[in-house]
Amino acid sequence: MYSEKVMDHFMNPRNVGEIQDADGIGEVGNARCGDIMKMYLKIEDGVIVDVKFKTFGCGSAIASSSMATELIKGKTIEEAMEVTNKAVAEALDGLPPIKMHCSLLAEQAIKAALYDYAKKNNIEIKGLENFDPQADVHDHDHEHA
Amino acid sequence: MKKYIYMDNAATTPVKQEVLDEMLPYFNVNYGNPSSIYTLGSKSKNAISIAREKIAKAINADAREIFFTAGGSEADNWAIKGIAYANKNKGNHIITSKIEHHAVLHTCQYLEKQGFRVTYLDVDQYGLIDLEQLKEAITDDTILISIMFANNEIGTIQPIKEIGEIAKEKGIYFHTDAVQAIGHIKIDVDELNIDLLSMSAHKFYGPKGIGALYVRRGVKIDSLIAGGGQERNKRAGTENVPGIVGMGKAIELAYENLEEKNAKLIKLRDRLIEKIFEKIDYVRLNGHPTNRLPGNVNVCFEFIEGESILLSLDMVGIAASSGSACTSGSLEPSHVLLAIGLSHEIAHGSVRLTLGDFNTEEEVDYVAEKLAEIVSRLRSMSPLYEKIKEEK
């Protein structure tokens, strides 16, 4: 059902954990729907120098979080903003259609952490003007359920 | 230990060698159509009669009350739709429970669209229906009570005898989906006042694609499948002879030394539960602690999600199942777990391990050990577990 890459990132996730003095923390999803992602960023001079995550969820949620951290580590804020759910899913060699929301959650987690960073530092990040960290990515899926 | 450990016997079971051996000649040696009048056809017809006798004997029924179907789902569909349509002049009300298999629930929902009224009884924290609520739900229009014998997810066994008595007293037909119970629990349809009973061979070491519906003599039921005159005009279609032969052999084997086998299974089941509780915290047992299927273990591990547990188990060669949303193909966790009062969060972390005749004590210990490692690894990644640790 899952690609080898998904299984690799699920069984050996990269960057699991917390950052005590994180510059930005984002938490998305909810326990009711079965997945929560929490992302911690350490940012220096506009560059993400460290990133950690913790995830409650299925295999693809954990793999998506892991892959998302790999995609943004060492990148500038602008580059991280360009990481879409599609990019996460593609980097994992694809996700089953019903699991695409996991990659969307990963994209949201990155943005939520950057949003928190922007708020704390009183700066504006292009692309986050209308970002709602409380938005529920599951909304779309429920209509199909 | 490198072999595969199969602990999903409620999903399906392997066909036992003795069963397969009896089936094989009916594929290419005795392949005649049972409806044909020549010798080859008669051989098939006889084989069906023998199997029918075996199944009838297993539940203390008459062979003429056993009708073969393509499985448990067809038997459920037939029982409910067949009774509803044949008795709609008497009433349009059906009583069932919230924790039935989807073969029953979706059939009832279909009938609601056809103008029937359905009451879905609640269950308590153990998954048991309330007999008082059942009595109160009965009206003059009630034509059928359909309550499962034992639940496929949490293993809870319903008070079937009491339900049968209530139904008999009120003159209402009583159907039970016994797919999980038959071959594992002694069932006497007379003693329990059961009018219709669904069964499926692959849950008791028989082949897939074959099942049966027991219909008590005199029960008014419409056919589901029209066509030829097979199954005494009640269920058309050329009989699945190898499947029927296999089902007959499987049920015979299932009821041989049943008590002995169950004593062993219960010991294994309770050992697994005990070991899980010993090694892992924040865990709860779903279903009734004692009044449950001999091989059923269903637990929720808090702060983690079921699919990730199943994937991890699979990586170490263990097959199990879960009621989490991520394994159901929808976003809602199991309707059974929600009906027993679990929150969505907790229900997402459910794991079902169902033991069978081939499991060993060694396997049980291995599974408990691996589960502890897996749960601990997944919790170390979970933001929910982190919060609990902080609060402590």
> What confidence score (pLDDT) does residue B327 get?
64
* Residue of A33, A58, A87, A118 marked active site: A33
B200: phi then psi, degrees, rounded to nearest 5? -145, 130
Percent of residues, chain A, with pLDDT higher than 70: 93
Query: CATH class for domain A4-121?
Result: alpha beta
Those residues with Cβ within 8 angstroms of residue B183's Cβ, 6 or more apart along the chain or in another chain: B58, B199, B203, B204, B205, B250, B251, B254, B255
Q: Please check whether residue B345 touches A, CB under 8 A.
A: yes
**Which residues touch B169 (CB under 8 Å, ≥6 apart)?**
none
Domains of chain B listed by start with CATH number: 5-13+257-391 (3.90.1150.10), 17-254 (3.40.640.10)
Return the exposure string of B24-42: e unless at least 16 CB atoms fall within 10 Å of the residue's CB, then b. Answer: eebeeebebebeeeeeebe
Nearest-angstrom CA–CA distance, A34 and B346: 9
The number of C-beta contacts closer than 8 angstroms across A and B is 76
Please tell me the distance in Å from B270's CA to the nearest CA on chain A: 28
Do B175 and B197 contact (CB within 8 A), yes or no? yes
Which residue has 């589960």 as its token pair? B371
Q: Is A93 on the interface with B (CB under 8 A)?
A: no
Tell me if B200 sits within 8 A of B251, measured CB to CB: no
* A72, two tokens: 């943004």
pTM tops 0.90, yes or no? yes
3-class DSSP state of B106? helix
Q: Is the pLDDT of residue B167 over 70?
A: yes
Active-site residue among A25, A71, A102, A106?
A102
The pLDDT assigned to A134 comes to 78
Q: What is the DSSP letter of B202?
A: G
Please tell me the distance from the alpha carbon of residue B380 to that of residue B4, in angstroms, as a whole number.
Answer: 27
Contact residues, chain A, for B303 at CB < 8 Å? 56
Neighbouring CB atoms inside 10 A of B97's CB total 26
Burial of B266 per CB tally in 10 Å (0-12, 13-18, 19+): middle
Instruction: Give me B109's structure tokens.
Output: 């929902």
Taking the CA of residue B96 and the nearest CA in chain A, the distance in Å comes to 24
Encode pLDDT of A72-83 as tens digits.
999 999 999 999
Distance from CA of B378 to the nearest CA of A (A): 8
Per-residue pLDDT, B262: 98
Locate the chain A residue with the closest alpha carbon to B348.
Answer: A34
Do A42 and A52 touch, CB atoms closer than 8 A? no
Q: Give Rg (Cα) of chain B.
A: 22
The domain segmentation of chain A, as residue ranges, is 4-121
Is A50 in the B-facing interface, judged by CB distances under 8 Å?
no
Q: Determine, for residues A56 and B315 on separate chains, whether the beta-carbon distance falls below 8 Å.
A: no
B377 pLDDT above the threshold of 60: yes
Q: What is the pLDDT of residues B49-70, one digit of tens each?
A: 999 999 999 999 999 999 999 9
**Longest C-alpha distance within chain B, in Å?**
79
Cα(A90)–Cα(A47) distance, integer angstroms: 24
Q: How far is CA A6 from the centre of its chain?
A: 15
Rounded alpha-carbon distances, angstroms, from residue B106 to A141, B77, B83, B96 = 22, 9, 16, 12
**Chain B within 8 Å of A5 (Cβ-Cβ)?**
no
The reported pLDDT for the residue numbered B323 is 84
HEC sequence for A6-51: HHHHHHCCCCECCCCCCCEEEEEEEHHHCEEEEEEEEEECCEEEEE
> For B140, which DSSP code?
T
pLDDT single digits (tens) B229-256? 999 999 999 999 999 999 999 999 999 9
